[in-house]
Structure 1
Amino acid sequence: MTYNCEECGASFSKVSQLKQHQRTENHWTKHPCDICEKWFTRKDNLDQHKKKHFAANSVHCDECGLVFSRQYTLNRHKERVHQVGGQKRRASNAMGNEEDNDTKPVKMLRKDDDLRQFYSIRKLKEQRISKFGTTSTSYHVTFRDMEVSNDVLSTLKRLFTAIIADLT
């Protein structure tokens, strides 16, 4: 029985010889993702990767919004980027804000204020979706502490309108 390399046609009498040839010559069978055109040498890795494209089968980082196809990859990300798990984090108060000795006073939001001072936008990633001829972009929006007097709903509308204007 002979084993043939699909890339160059070389033949071998043992599977181990074929595998060694593929490693040294970089002749791996490529499994492309039909959504983002990324390719994998193992079919099971491609199947795991494809899960990331569908929200129901993916896990999201609750800190920054990045998407992962495997739970352990998310856990590793949280440990490395957000210091969750392995290292101690700073204490948080009941509102989820980190406590500091030098906390800034909460600013009252007024109608004539520039709303950009109450939030910040960070681009997380940009991904080309060639199948649809478009690009997907993920952002992380952080709100600063603010005091709202009466009309919370109209304040939220103003904030989100400003954020959408910045993004578009």
Structure 2
Amino acid sequence: MAVSTYYIKARPPIVLYGIGAVLAVLGAGLLVASGANGWGVLAFVGGVLLLGVGVLCASVAYFSARKLQVSVALDDRGYSIRDRAGSHTGKWSEVTKVTQGPGRLTFHNRDGSGFALYDTGRQSEQLDALAADISDRLDRDRGYGGTLVQED
């Protein structure tokens, strides 16, 4: 079976985008109005500052959403998960079960440890496809089914 890669994206920070857009429009409007009406340097500087803060807010929103993306790569031997904190790898032989709840997949390992993948972007179809792929790979590794348990 080939390597499968899934990307779980964080929900974009819509509020921060909105604040950035409003500040940028206000700043641009103040720049135009100050130039057209001769309001002076103070209004011009205020417009530049508002426009700059608006662009900065939108940039922070964009880059924070990209940084919160998680990639999950699955192959026949195991998995590799990369997020902002680093990388987590494991072998299918170490996984006892994988449970799925609303917006999350939880890996349970033989040594009692575990970790969860959360889907903050509400992409349930993608999380369901990832869960099905994990279940198939566990089946192939062990030769049995029933490794994915639905939680409420």
Superposition TM-score tier, normalisation by shorter sequence: under 0.3
Structure with the bigger percentage of helix: 2
For CA contacts below 8 A with separation 6 or more, give which structure has more relative contact order: 2
Q: Structure 2-normalised TM-score?
A: 0.24
**Structure 1 length normalisation: TM-score?**
0.22
Query: Which of these two proteins has the greater Rg computed from alpha carbons?
Result: 1
